[in-house]
Structure 1
Amino acid sequence: MSVGKDYIVSKVLNNNVILAIDYKTRQELILIGKGIGFGKKEGKMTNLQNKDIEKSFIVYDEKTKKEYFQLISQMDGNVMGVSEEIIAIAEKHLGQLNSHIHIALTDHIGFAIDRIKIGLEMNNPFLFEIRALYPEEFQIGLLAAEIIRDRLDAKISESEVGFIALHFHSARQNKKVTETVKDTRFLKEIIDLIQNELSVSIDNRDLMYTRLINHLRVTINRLEEKKYIENPLLSNIKQQFKESYRISQKIGEYIREKKHINVTEEELGYLSLHIERIKETSKIISKRVTESYQA
């Protein structure tokens, strides 16, 4: 037998999401479940079975609560309801997210839809980096775009999917979105530096690009956490790949200058291997292009 609880409906956001007060504990909650908002009246009591509530969360601290209620007063309830459904799906796949995402992502989605209505497209300069660095979050972003299209009749661009993915990653890491953007920009700057040193252009859709940017992210995270690794190939790398090691040293200096962390020789050695692969691959591609012109 399913157990039910009494709630006072504060606001119906859409057919699947309501803001309610637990009649017994007096806690304010967001309740999510298929059809639980249908036919509900604000200010009225309703009994909901536990099996009908797929997800619930408490409207946390006073600051978050105040911001959330300001958002409710300003935004279309359907947008808020869809945003909550998207967040619930994200938490199923990504785990518990920082509670501020209920404000930050909802606000972003609402603003994105407003921009779409007036034909204003927002470019995302870090789209390829976001896709490579945060693949799980990006996949949820694509799912969010489908839900928004189907439920709110708004077509979200891939650039917007990237921004949504940033919100998920930030909430997952308990960071501000601005910090995540800063980290992503920094990694892109390092890759630009490598491209300039080698006088090559790496296709950002290529697996090599994905491997490099993820290697850089893991390396910096490891160094920030003061976790150090050994590199038994270091002496050979220094001798055989001198140019690549020189470039990796330059990258190490850049990281030290911007992040105030020391990049060990062992890490520089592993980075040199990635740089060497890029250098050799670009030579092969260049040779093929030359031969095709000569043929």
Structure 2
Amino acid sequence: MKKKRKYIVLKALNNNVILAKDISLDEEIVLVGKGIGFGKRDGNVVHLNKEDIEKTFYLSDPKTKNKYEQLMKGTNRKVIGVSEEIIAIAEKEFGPLNPNIHIALADHIGFSLERIKMGLEISNPFIYEIKALYPKEYKIGEIGQGIIKDRLMFTIPESEVGFIALHIHSARENKLVIDAIQDTKFLMSLINIIEEDLSIKLDNSGLVYSRLINHLRAGINRMEEGKHIENPLLDVIKEKFIESYVLAEKIGVYINKEKNIHVLDDELGYIALHIERIKNSNI
């Protein structure tokens, strides 16, 4: 017979999430598991197997515990419950996330629902970029949209799905959400340079756009990490795609100016190839 662990329910956040005290460790813990909160009242003692619990989040750090207690005081417990369910799904997909997401995501969802109640909606100007750059995070955001509708009877718009995805991505990368937004804005500025130079407007929901923005992101990540990849076609690119390479150099100058990163010719060559592909595609 499998040994069950004893917990005291401090708050039942919804049918699948409880804030509890682990009696054996004398620590507060958030537990996520199907049906573990159903019919439970504050102060109830519950006995759970490992199999009953999908995810745990111990409030061991005093600062985190204090922030979570403040969150509980100012946020509907059902909102915190859906946030924890979304985080559990994200951690199942990506592994452990930065623990700050337990505060930040619930706070964001609560604020979003308040805006919706008042008939206000903050637009998300990066929605297509988020879909292209972080498709797995966006998919979890869509799952979260369904959970929110099911538990709270609110339908959040696509813009908010994108913001949930940004929170998840930021927690994966141990970044602040504002930093993820700045990264996305920077990539958009690079694409704007290409569009203006070629006098075109890319379909930001299309494959060409997705390939381009993902290549730019990967290239900048390599440069920031000091990694170098060789481009065996560099001489051919410089000779055959002169205009595209000149535009790539323009982008390199901008990257250097904004991020103080020297863009090597090999990277410029790959950017030029993408530009050439755009010029020869049906946009």
User: Which interval holds the TM-score relative to the shorter structure?
Assistant: over 0.9
> 1:189 matched to which residue of 2?
189
* Corresponding residue for residue 270 of structure 2: 270
The answer to whether structure 1 residue 65 and structure 2 residue 75 are counterparts is: no
Query: Residues 195 and 201 of structure 2 are in contact (CA less than 8 Å); yes or no, is this contact kept in structure 1?
Result: yes
Q: Structure 1, unaligned stretches of length 5 or more?
A: 286-295
Amino acid at match of 1:238: K
Partners of 1:53 and 1:226 lie apart in 2 by 42
> Residue deviations 1:210-252, cap 9 Å, x none?
0000000000001111111111211111111111111000000
Q: Secondary structure at the match of 1:196?
A: helix
Equivalent in the alignment of 2:235? 235
1:257 corresponds in structure 2 to 257
Could you say what the CA RMSD is over the residues aligned between the two structures, in angstroms?
1.2
How far residue 265 of structure 1 moved from its aligned partner, in angstroms, is 0.4
Confirm or deny that 1:82 pairs with 2:100: no
Partner Cα distance (2:271, 2:227) in 1: 16
Secondary structure, counterpart of 1:38 in structure 2? coil
Q: d(CA) in 2 for partners of 1:17 and 1:270? A: 48
Give secondary structure in 1 for the equivalent of 2:266. helix
Quick check: 1:60–1:99 contact (8 Å CA) kept in 2? no
Alignment partners' CA distance in 2, 1:230 and 1:53: 48
Q: For the residues of structure 2 that align with 1:251 and 1:244, how far apart are their CA atoms?
A: 11
Pairwise mapping of residues 101-120 of structure 1 onto structure 2 (< 5 A)? 101-120=101-120
TM-score scaled by structure 2?
0.97
Cα distance in 2 for residues equivalent to 1:145 and 1:203: 25
1: distance between equivalents of 2:44 and 2:230?
65
Specify the alignment match of 1:290 in structure 2.
Answer: none
CA distance in 1, matches of 2:197, 2:186: 17
Aligned pairs for 1:12-91 within 5 A: 12-91=12-91
SS in 2 for 1:281: coil
Contact 2:27–2:60 under 8 Å retained in 1: no
Q: Tell me the amino acid that sits aligned with residue 198 of structure 2.
A: L
Structure 2's unaligned 5+ residue stretches are none
Larger radius of gyration between Structure 1 and Structure 2: 1
Listed one character per residue, the Cα deviations across residues 158-198 of structure 1 (whole Å, up to 9, x for unaligned) are: 11111100000000001100110000000000001100011
Report the Cα offset of residue 64 of structure 1: 1.4
For the residues of structure 1 that align with 2:179 and 2:36, how far apart are their CA atoms?
A: 37
Shift of 1:156: 1.0
Residue identity over aligned pairs, in percent, reads 57
Between the aligned partners of 1:266 and 1:228, the Cα distance in structure 2 is 8
Tell me how far apart the structure 2 counterparts of residues 162 and 232 of structure 1 sit (CA, whole Å).
38
Q: Which amino acid aligns with 1:163?
A: F
Segments of 4+ in structure 1 off by > 6 A?
none
Which shifted more, 68-77 or 8-17?
Answer: 8-17
Equivalent in the alignment of 1:157: 157
Other structure's SS at 1:10 match: strand
